[in-house]
Chains A and B, each alone.
Chain A
């Protein structure tokens, strides 16, 4: 990490065993420490495969044909192993119930720190800290499988946080969360990044929540990076090239009416009322 890079991918291509089509194709990507990278793209475009590569699940748990070189937090992914990488990279899967197994939420969250062989007090502190950050204090003694989908997601995230990873890879972390929980999650992620000084790679379709807080956005299309830019420029590129993306409403209204709104020339305003005048004026014309 002498060069300050947390992730460095060079000419990465990967095909799952038995699949005729590459899941990732000639990916080149450098992510610096402290970045907040938003990753989006259609279903089946390769977003999750990218996350699996960064966490070492590709190639160690998903066999296939990998070429190119991948370095994550100083580890050569192909030569390292999932165990070593898991101590540095926190990965929250898309289906949280797949990573919950203990009989209580508390035990599930403690599992990671226990495996790091931390002192007991440290484990207790970390479990309390993770449960309070994710708002799960009241659920700590419940079996994870009885929780609703949204609470299961929080429990999976809590389990990862307790490891205090330097790189967080989150695959659609808010997809099962309600509106309040999703907003809180974004705030929490921002706070967490400053506390842990963690780098975040977040795969998301709910761009509205993230595009103003991420510093960078990747759009993946058919296994390749179609766009890599700051979120506003990346969305502009998608719009101009008619790429499929879940455009944030605040972005679309800004593109359409921003020029008629004071202070919205260079970037979207978060106050929807700013657009009421221009929309009604258009209706009257």
Chain B
């Protein structure tokens, strides 16, 4: 069980252009958190610090009490798995099997252990029939599933996804909503960076809103839904669904269906 603490972090790529300013937040273990904010608000920069790809220029980040600045990227990677936007661009193996096995083998799994993992995750992610295929021959949705499978293969406790819904269809979206639920049930933490408010509502129990490099809101999703001004302060607009949830909560609806938001229950389908 890993938790992430961000303590008063500043970051700039070049002096004078501050990307993050005084960011403090906590990702509790076993939680699902969405990081939302306008384009260019610093979301991707922030998560690149969670596994030590970038270091704060001030302040510190602790993963399970280990400071990212004094811990190797490989040690952090065991705890924190990051799935970047357009992850298919980073495929390099000739087969799906090798692509999935690469991470575990680098983390010290034996060949036999890696085989077990490959079989396990490829079954879970519907990739079992493609183990000998070239990753680049997969469809868009299959590529994304492979990229998640390759990270989950070595068993990180925190899974971070950067804009996971971009360019993908409804079926994949449902798959992600279901996957987040399963990962939480296994006690893992999920952090989604997304500008897709409806997706965040359906996957998260906690939210962080960033605007121009600063955290403008941090807390439980239910409380965010109750305070529409938080969206304005983050320079975000409400969606039909977020406004509806706000109206329902202010009219006394039970909070149970809102952390995360269960659309089918609101539609009376569940």
Chain A CB within 8 A of B198 CB = yes
Q: Which of A94, A95, A272 contacts B243 (CB 8 A)?
A: A272
Judged by a CB distance under 8 angstroms, whether B1 is at the interface is no
Q: Contact string, A102-133, partner B, CB cutoff 8 A, digits 1/0?
A: 00000000000000000000000000000000
The reply to whether A151 and B39 contact each other, CB–CB distance below 8 Å, is yes
* Contact (Cβ within 8 A) B268 A249: no
How many residue pairs link A and B with beta carbons under 8 A? The number is 111
Counting CB contacts under 8 A, is B90 at the interface? no
Taking A252-B263, A280-B253 as contacts, is the C-beta distance between A44 and B168 under 8 angstroms? Answer: no
Bound CA–CA A279/B265 (angstroms): 10
Q: How far in angstroms is the closest Cβ of chain B from A240?
A: 16
**Across the interface, do A179 and B268 meet the contact criterion of CB distance under 8 Å?**
no
Quick one: CB contact mask for B204-242 with A, threshold 8 Å, 1 for yes?
A: 000000000000000000000000000000011111110
Q: Is A190 an interface residue (CB 8 A)?
A: no
Interface SS, B side: loop
- A175 close to B (CB within 8 Å): yes
Determine if A25 is an interface residue (Cβ-Cβ < 8 Å): no
CB-CB under 8 A for A283 and B239, given A43-B172, A150-B195, A276-B248: no
Whether the pair A279, B169 counts as a contact (CB closer than 8 A) is no
Q: Is A191 an interface residue (CB 8 A)?
A: no
Q: Which of B182-211 contact A (CB under 8 A)?
A: 195, 197-198
Is the CB–CB distance between A176 and B163 below 8 Å? yes
Which of B170, B235, B236, B263 is the most central at the interface, judged by chain A CB atoms within 10 Å of its CB? B170
Chain A residues with CB below 8 A from B37, complex form: 178
Q: A172 to B163, alpha carbons, bound, how many Å?
A: 14
For the complex, count residues of B whose C-beta is within 8 A of A.
41
A273 located at the interface, meaning its Cβ lies under 8 Å from any Cβ of chain B in the complex? yes
Quick check: is A180 within 8 A (CB to CB) of the other chain? yes
Question: What residues on A are CB-neighbors of B195 within 8 Å?
Answer: 150, 176-179
Determine if A44 and B141 form an interchain contact, defined as CB atoms under 8 angstroms apart. Answer: yes
For the complex, give the distance between the alpha carbons of A213 and B163 in Å.
26
* Contact of B241 with A249 in the complex, beta carbons under 8 Å: yes
Which residues of the other chain, A, contact B173 by a CB distance below 8 angstroms? 246
Known contacts A44-B141, A176-B166, A208-B240, A181 near B39 by CB under 8 Å:
yes
Q: Are A283 and B253 in contact (CB under 8 A)?
A: yes
- On whether A282 and B268 interact (CB within 8 A), knowing A150-B195, A180-B236, A183-B237, the answer reads yes
CA A273 to CA B244, docked complex, whole Å: 6
Asked if A275 is at the interface of the complex by the 8 Å CB criterion, the answer is yes
Which chain A residues lie closer than 8 Å to B87 at the CB level? Answer: none
* Whole-angstrom distance between the Cβ of A184 and the nearest chain B Cβ: 9
B169 touching A179 by the CB < 8 A rule? no
Q: Which residues of A contact B169 (CB under 8 A)?
A: 41-43, 205, 244, 246
The 4 A-B residue pairs with the shortest CB-CB distance in the complex, in nearest-first order:
A150-B39, A272-B244, A148-B40, A178-B195
Q: What 15 additional pairs, Cβ within 8 angstroms, besides A252-B267, A276-B247?
A: A42-B170, A43-B139, A148-B40, A150-B39, A150-B40, A176-B163, A178-B38, A179-B237, A208-B240, A246-B170, A246-B173, A249-B240, A253-B240, A256-B267, A283-B253
